[in-house]
Chain A
Amino acid sequence: MADEKDAKKQSEMSRRKFMKNTGYVAGGAIGGGLLGSLLGTNFLGDNQQTSPENTNEENNFNRALMYFTKQSDFDILRAATERIFPEDDNGPGAIELGIPFFIDHQLAGAYGHNDREYMQGPFYPGSDFQGYQTRLKRHEVFDVGIQAIEKQSQNDFNASFVDLEGEQQDEILQQFQDGDVDLKGVTATTFFELLRSATIEGAYADPLYGGNGNMEGWVMKEYPGNYMSYIDEIEEEEFIEKEPKALQSHISS
C-alpha cells in the first residue's frame, strides 16, 4: 500500500508539472473542480467515503446513477475501467475522469438500448467477421458481464473483484478479452470490447457526457477539444499547445 501511495504522490507531482507545461494552469483555466481534485488526493486520501469523484465533483449533480441500481455493481464497473485506463504518471485514470458515470449514463439511453441498431431476430452466434450478434442490448450485456466478473473473481481468488490487487484484476479482465469465460447470451469478448471502447470513449468524449472530467483526458493527450478554426496555424512547423475548449463554449443560453 505504501508503494501505491508513493506512486500516487509522484503521479500527482508530475501531473501538476504536466499541466503547468501545457499552459493549462498558466492560462488561468484552473477551476474549482480541478483544484478540488488536487486537494482531494493530497489531504483527504483515497478512501471509500471520499472517492476522487466525490471530492472532485462536490457540486456536480450529474454524479448520480441513471442506470445501475446496486452500488456494488457500479463499484465493479469502476474498478474494471480503472484497470483499462489507470491513473499513472501521465494523469488521472478512469475513476477520476468520471468514466464510470459516463458509462452509467450511456447505458440508460440510446446507446444502452441499441436504439439505432438492428435488433430483430433470429439470433445466431456468427463468425468472427460478422460483428455484434446477441439478442442482449448493451445495457444487458453490461449486467451479464459485470456479474460474471464478480463470479470469476470469487472463483479464481475467493474474493470480490473490487478487493483484488491490480494484477489480479488484470488477469480476470484478460480472460474476458480472450473469451475464456462463458457468459449467458453473449460472448465474454463482446462484453470486454464494449467495456474497453466505452472506457476510452469516456476518457476523451466532450465532458458534456460526464467523462473526461475537467477535460483532463484531453489535457493528457494535449488535445485542444474544439476550436473553430486553425487556418492561421495549419502551416506552422512547431507543435502548438492549446488550452482545451469544450462544447460548452458553443452554446449561448
Chain B
Amino acid sequence: MATELDKVEVVTVGVGWTGGIIAAELAKNGVQVVGLERGKPRDTEDFQHIHDEYRYAIRYDLMQDLSKETITFRNNRDERALPMRQLGSFLMGEGLGGAGVHWDGQVYRFLPYDLEIKTHTDEKYGADKLGDDYTLQDWGISYDELEPYFYKFEETTGISGDADSMPQSAPRNNPYPTPRMKETPVTKRFKDAASNLDLHPFHIPSANLSEAYENPDGQNIQQCQYCGFCERFGCEYGAKSTPNVTVIPTAQETDNFELRMNANVTEVLYDGDKANGVKYVDLQTGEEFIQPADIVVLTSWVMNNTRLLLNSEIGRPYDPETRSGVIGKNYCYQMRPTATGFFEEEKFNTYMGAGALGAAIDDYNGDNFDHSDVDFIHGGVITVNQQGQRPINNNVVPNDTPNWGQTFKSESLKYFYRTLTVGSQGASMPHRNNYLSLDPDYTDSNGYPLLRLTYDYTDQDRSLHAYLAERSVEIMKEMGADHVEASEMTDHYNIVPYQTTHNTGGVIMGDDPETSAVNNYSQMWDVDNLFVIGASAFAHNGGYNPTGTVGALAYRAAEGIMQFREENGQLVQGKKNTKVT
C-alpha cells in the first residue's frame, strides 16, 4: 500500500535543467514546489577528482543506471525491439542537475524558421517538397514571442558570446551577458578558412564562462579554466553553468522548495480529466508514496516524459499505421556529418579545451541557403570544437588503417594531435515511422513497460548528411589539412557508437490539439493541470544543441504555470477549438 502524503501545490518529476528552472521560478514567487529526483545529490565538491576519463567518460559514472531502466530499440516496425543494454548512442542524465551536470554548455537559440518550418517550407518550396511521410509541423509559437525567454535562460546561465559576429543566427534584443571565450589557434584557423570562403564564422555561445559572473538571482559562476574535462564531467570550479550552481540553489534559498532525492516516479495519477499527483518509489527503502498535487510538471527529459505519459495512460498514443494520436509522435535525432583533416607538419594543443570552446557558421543552417535545387530542407550549424581531446576516446587514424595492432598503435599516436574535425549537427525532420511507444516484452526494475524507440534514417537525412559533409570538407581543406576524410552514414541508425544526446519529440508542441500534445506553455491540451517540459516538446529537431531552446520553453512554462494558478483552464485557444478525447 502506498503511503499518501500531504498535498502540495506543484510537484516536478526530475530535477535537471527544466525541473530546476521550474523550481526556481515558482519558489521565488511564493509557490510551494516539491522536486522528485530519482538520482543522488551532488555539487561542486563531488567533482574534485573528476579528471578521470575512464570512470566518467568511458564507464559513464554520472549517467543513468541502465540495470534499473533503459529503452528498447529497433530500426523499423518489422523488427523485434531489443533493450539498449549499455549506454552508447546517447547518454541519459541521472542525479541532481540531470544531464545539465555533464553537458558541454554550447548554447544556441533555434532559428525563427524552426518555429514556423511547415508554413515556411510550403510557402517557399511547395507543399510536397518532402512528401507526405514527413510529419512536419509549426510549433504554435513565433520567435518574437519566445525571444524574451531565450534571454532569460542566457541571463541566468551567464552565457559567453559575441552577438555582433552572428548575422545569420536568431536575432537578439540584448548582448550576451559575458564576452566570448578565448580565441585559440584552432578556432582562428576555422574562422579564417570560413571567411576566405565568404562564410560568416562566430564563436560558439558558451555556458563555460569567459569570466566570473553573478546572475540576476545572485548566484556566482566562476571563470572557465579550459581544463579539458568538461563534456561528460562535472566542473570542479563551478565554472560551467549547471542547474546545480544556478537554478537549484536559487530555489533552495527560498523556503518554498523541497527536494526529495532517490525518488523514482512511476506514474502520474490521472482521473480522466485532471492529474491528481504522482506515485513514486523511495529507492533507498523500496517504500511507495503518493504525492498529491494541484499541478504536476514532467521535467524528466524526452524519453521519461513520454514514457510516464504512456504508462499513466494519459493522452492518445501515436499510431504510425493510422497516423492518429500524438504521444510518442515526431521523435527526432540528429545527423553528424564530419570532415576530419590530417596535418602532417603541425600539432595542435588539443588536450586543452572546454566543452563549448569552438567556432561555428550558420550559413548552411535552417533556410539560410536556398533549397530549391536540393532534395532536402534545413541543414545544421557547422563547427570546430576544442573540447579537450582524451586519449581513450580519441584514436583517429586514416580510413584504411586497421583498428588494432602495430600500425594502429603508431598511427593513432602519430595523429593524436595532428587531426582536427569540422562537423555539423544536421537537423532531423519527423517521419511517420520514427516514434516512441511502450515495449510489449521488457520492463524496468519496478515492472513497468520500457519505452520502445523505433527509428531509422530517412532519405532527407541522407541527402542532408551528404551535403553538410561536403561543406565541411571544403572548410577543412581551406584550413590547410594535407588529407581530408568525410564521414559516411551507416546503412541504418546504430544504437552503439556515441553520436549525440540531442533526442527530441514524443510530447510535441503545436497550435492544434489534434496534432500536438502540449500548447506553447507546455501545458497538455487534454489535461489542464499537467505541464510537460523539455526537448520532448520539439516538433522537429533543429541544427543546434537543444538546451538554449529547452531553457526558453521552460521559462515560458513557468510563466504559464503562474498564470494557470490564477485563471485555471487552458491558457491557449486550440486552433480547431476542440478538445480531443
Residues of A within 8 A of B (CB): 83-86, 88-90, 110-111, 114-120, 122, 124, 126-133, 170, 173, 177, 196, 199-201, 203-206, 208-209, 217-218, 220-231, 233-237, 239-240, 247, 250-251
Name 11 interchain pairs, CB-CB below 8 A, sorted by A: A114-B86, A116-B60, A129-B490, A131-B88, A201-B58, A203-B391, A221-B391, A228-B225, A228-B227, A230-B227, A234-B352
Q: Mark B484-503, 1 if CB is under 8 A from A, else 0.
A: 00000010111110000000
- Give chain A nearest CB distance to B24 CB in angstroms: 30
With A124-B80, A235-B184 as known contacts, state yes or no: A226 contacts B51, CB within 8 Å: yes
Residues of B within 8 A of A (CB): 48-49, 51-54, 58-60, 65-67, 69-70, 73-75, 79-80, 82-86, 88, 182-185, 223-229, 236, 347-349, 351-353, 357, 391-392, 395, 403-406, 409-410, 413, 416-417, 441-443, 490, 492-496
- Give chain A nearest CB distance to B400 CB in angstroms: 16
Can you name the residue of chain B whose Cβ is closest to the Cβ of A209? B54
Cα separation A247 to B83 with both chains bound (whole Å) = 35
Contact B75–A117 (Cβ < 8 Å): no
Chain B residues with CB below 8 A from A233, complex form: 349, 352
Contact B184–A234 (Cβ < 8 Å): yes
Can you name the residue of chain B whose Cβ is closest to the Cβ of A239? B347
Q: Which of A83, A128, A206, A227 contacts B54 (CB 8 A)?
A: A206
Contact B184–A196 (Cβ < 8 Å): no
With A86-B409, A247-B49 as known contacts, state yes or no: A116 contacts B67, CB within 8 Å: yes
Can you name the residue of chain B whose Cβ is closest to the Cβ of A88? B406
Chain B residues with CB below 8 A from A220, complex form: 413
**Which of A122, A170, A205 lies at the interface centre, i.e. has the most chain B CB atoms within 10 A of its CB?**
A205
Chain A residues with CB below 8 A from B353, complex form: 230, 234
Q: Which of A84, A205, A208, A234 contacts B392 (CB 8 A)?
A: A205
Chain A residues with CB below 8 A from B392, complex form: 200-201, 203-205
Q: Which of B67, B86, B443 contacts A131 (CB 8 A)?
A: B86
Cα separation A239 to B346 with both chains bound (whole Å) = 9
With A116-B66, A200-B392, A206-B52 as known contacts, state yes or no: A229 contacts B225, CB within 8 Å: yes
Chain B residues with CB below 8 A from A128, complex form: 494
- Give chain B nearest CB distance to A181 CB in angstroms: 16
Q: Which of A115, A133, A204 contacts B85 (CB 8 A)?
A: A133
The 10 closest A-B pairs by CB, nearest first: A226-B51, A205-B54, A229-B225, A230-B352, A204-B391, A239-B347, A118-B70, A129-B494, A84-B404, A234-B226
Cα separation A115 to B182 with both chains bound (whole Å) = 41
Chain B residues with CB below 8 A from A217, complex form: 391
Contact A222–B416 (Cβ < 8 Å): yes
Please report whether the interface of chain A is mostly helix, strand, loop or mixed according to DSSP. loop
Chain B residues with CB below 8 A from A224, complex form: 351
Known A132-B86, A235-B183; further 15 A-B contacts with Cβ < 8 A: A83-B404, A83-B405, A84-B405, A90-B410, A114-B86, A116-B65, A117-B85, A129-B496, A133-B82, A223-B391, A229-B226, A234-B182, A235-B185, A239-B349, A251-B49
Cα separation A163 to B139 with both chains bound (whole Å) = 66
Contact B66–A130 (Cβ < 8 Å): no
Contact B82–A206 (Cβ < 8 Å): no
Cα separation A126 to B74 with both chains bound (whole Å) = 9
Can you name the residue of chain B whose Cβ is closest to the Cβ of A138? B86
With A124-B82, A126-B82 as known contacts, state yes or no: A85 contacts B225, CB within 8 Å: no
With A201-B58, A218-B391, A222-B417 as known contacts, state yes or no: A118 contacts B53, CB within 8 Å: no
Contact B417–A230 (Cβ < 8 Å): no
With A230-B226, A233-B352 as known contacts, state yes or no: A122 contacts B67, CB within 8 Å: no
- Give chain A nearest CB distance to B101 CB in angstroms: 17
Q: Which of B70, B185, B226 contacts A231 (CB 8 A)?
A: B226
Q: Which of A129, A208, A221 contacts B495 (CB 8 A)?
A: A129
Can you name the residue of chain B whose Cβ is closest to the Cβ of A236? B349
Chain B residues with CB below 8 A from A201, complex form: 54, 58, 392
With A118-B67, A131-B495, A247-B49 as known contacts, state yes or no: A85 contacts B409, CB within 8 Å: yes
Cα separation A9 to B405 with both chains bound (whole Å) = 20
Contact B351–A129 (Cβ < 8 Å): no
Cα separation A173 to B409 with both chains bound (whole Å) = 16
Cα separation A84 to B417 with both chains bound (whole Å) = 22
Contact A90–B227 (Cβ < 8 Å): no
Chain A residues with CB below 8 A from B406, complex form: 86, 88
Can you name the residue of chain B whose Cβ is closest to the Cβ of A226? B51
Contact A117–B66 (Cβ < 8 Å): yes
- Give chain A nearest CB distance to B388 CB in angstroms: 9
Chain B residues with CB below 8 A from A83, complex form: 404-405
Cα separation A130 to B183 with both chains bound (whole Å) = 41
Chain A residues with CB below 8 A from B54, complex form: 201, 205-206, 209
Contact A229–B227 (Cβ < 8 Å): yes
- Give chain B nearest CB distance to A148 CB in angstroms: 18
Cα separation A111 to B86 with both chains bound (whole Å) = 11
Chain A residues with CB below 8 A from B49, complex form: 247, 250-251
Cα separation A86 to B347 with both chains bound (whole Å) = 24
**Which of B65, B67, B352 lies at the interface centre, i.e. has the most chain A CB atoms within 10 A of its CB?**
B352
Chain B residues with CB below 8 A from A240, complex form: 349
Can you name the residue of chain A whose Cβ is closest to the Cβ of B404? A84
Cα separation A164 to B82 with both chains bound (whole Å) = 39
Contact B405–A170 (Cβ < 8 Å): yes
Chain B residues with CB below 8 A from A250, complex form: 48-49, 51
